[in-house]
Amino acid sequence: MTFYELDINPRILKSIEEKGYESPSPIQEQAIPLLLDGKDILGSAQTGTGKTLAFAVPILQHIMNDRIKEPKHKQAALILTPTRELANQIGQSFRAYGKHTGLRHTVIYGGVSQKKQEQEIRRGVDIVIATPGRLLDLLRQRVIRLNDIKYFVLDEADRMLDMGFIVDVKEIVKYMHEKRQTMLFSATMPAAIASLAQEILTEPERIAISPVTETIEQISQHVYFVSKKEKTALLLHLINEMQMDSILVFTRTKHGADHLEKELIKAGIKAETIHGNKSQNARERALANFKKRKTQVLVATDVASRGIDIKNLSFVINYDLPEEPETYIHRIGRTGRAGLSGAAISFCDVLERKLLKSVERHIKQSISVVGYHPYAQQQPKEKIAVHKKNQPKKKKKFYYQANKSYQPIRHKA
């Protein structure tokens, strides 16, 4: 199938062609006809599946048709997203797909002055892309109104839940008219999100796209067993051994990210961090430096990582394994995009073994273990209790399998 077969407006088709897209992804192929037909959608889609285009194109087309009757620019669509980075990314997509439509959009988020945002709203916009906190501030100040919203997207709903935004989302929904088209997208579907979907959607069409195995099949995955205190030494070794020039590294905590950044800089490696305690300007600067290859290593936490979209990213490293197996997919999905190959490397200490097993169950495959490296933490071959008869049991002793020759993995370009 091609985009020409989806009954898309020629002006929007021209923009899609200019982006170099020829065939729709599975979620685009399923969602666009339903949304053009006015249906509500409940979509499950992993990161990198093309869902932004899937909802952006129908929204642009609907508003273009609406403007024939009412040419005045006023808020017609709201896209609500959990992070500033993702809001900016969606804004860039609307700019690209809507460049020949004459429609206007604005991106609203906290951490920066709201004066410019107020000016854009008063000038007139068709599409508002916002994070919950700043949008609520503007609603309460009566700077913006949502009475005329006809198209509403709740993106990354599971991350909204993780970040504690669900109460804000429910309050924002109250400002909108019930007669609207609503699209809810979530990579996972916990009970709280399923309940929210029942509240805000009307007879939705259910779309589930890209099982985990399909999403990550082009990404090579390896795990290194290493003690916690030697993870940084192993990271430095791999950067040198595998000649990594651009690496996205995930840590579990903000403190851990800052500490790793200092250790990398001390070793002569250009590194920066992105996490919730960083100012918006600092986060945008760090991401820009990484994209321009001014920074070799970008260290990120999960909350701050949503919306990071970097072309030709070859390596993602899980310095700490995530608490939730679903998060593993979001992390490694930053590489191997658009059909390109990528490598995901995980470090696993003894306390993270259960997390590794959870990840493997979730992705329904075993992650290849690099059997030997300079900082290898030996793995038990079998557990044998050693004690003499008629004597109190002593602590169990374990015999370990000797590691064989070191065979470093090589990333294929």
Are the beta carbons of 60 and 12 closer than 8 angstroms? yes
Task: Tell me how many domains the chain contains.
Answer: 2
Q: From 223, 228, 179, 215, select the one nearest 200 (Cα to Cα).
A: 179
Token duo for residue 93: 């997509």
Domain membership of residue 170 (yes or no) is yes
pLDDT of res. 23? 86
Query: Where a domain ends, among 168, 191, 210?
Result: 210
pLDDT of res. 396? 46
Domain co-membership, 257 together with 144: no
Domain co-membership, 184 together with 55: yes
Domain membership of residue 405 (yes or no) is no
For residue range 9-62, list pLDDT tens digits in order: 999 999 999 988 878 888 899 999 999 999 999 998 766 678 899 999 999 999
Domain membership of residue 409 (yes or no) is no
Angle at 29 between CA 413 and CA 76, to 5 degrees: 110
Task: Using 50 as the pLDDT threshold, list the residues of the chain that sit under it.
Answer: 212, 380-392, 394-406, 408, 412-413
Query: Where a domain ends, among 210, 229, 262?
Result: 210
Domain co-membership, 161 together with 229: no
Domain co-membership, 225 together with 194: no
Q: Read off the pTM.
A: 0.64
Strands (E), 319-373: 342-348, 368-369
Domain that holds residue 86: 3-210
